[in-house]
Amino acid sequence: MLTPPAPNSGSKDDFSASEWTNLNGFVARLTALSLSLSIPAFDFSLYAIWAMRSAYEKNEADAAAVEAAKIWFVYAKEAMEKLSRDGKSFEGPIAKAGEKYADRDWKGFSEERLAVWKAE
């Protein structure tokens, strides 16, 4: 799975901060819908992990990352809470912890990780 170029990534195709927030809002809505209707094709929950990691698990996060993470809580808070209770995980390092929490063995959603995100 490829990630789109986030703001300040250095790519010539970078999204603006507002475009990045809107994209995250869209996939957050799809993810929430996918869980409520059991349509796995619209489950973009890995993007939630990436948004949260960029905003809350790095030593320094930029404003665009924080806004993208906040929008996940607006549109998919209940979905992320369910995924955390269920312990949804991913294979390999794709959903690993960010640098601030490198000592944690996170591989996806967990109640501990969700608590870290909510505390920020």
Q: What is the pLDDT of residues 9-55, one digit of tens each?
A: 555 567 888 998 999 999 999 999 998 888 888 899 999 999 999 99
If we measure between CA atoms, which residue out of 44, 42, 70, 65 comes closest to residue 53? Answer: 65
pLDDT in tens, 70-117: 999 999 999 999 999 999 999 999 999 999 999 999 999 999 999 999
Chain centroid to CA 76: 10
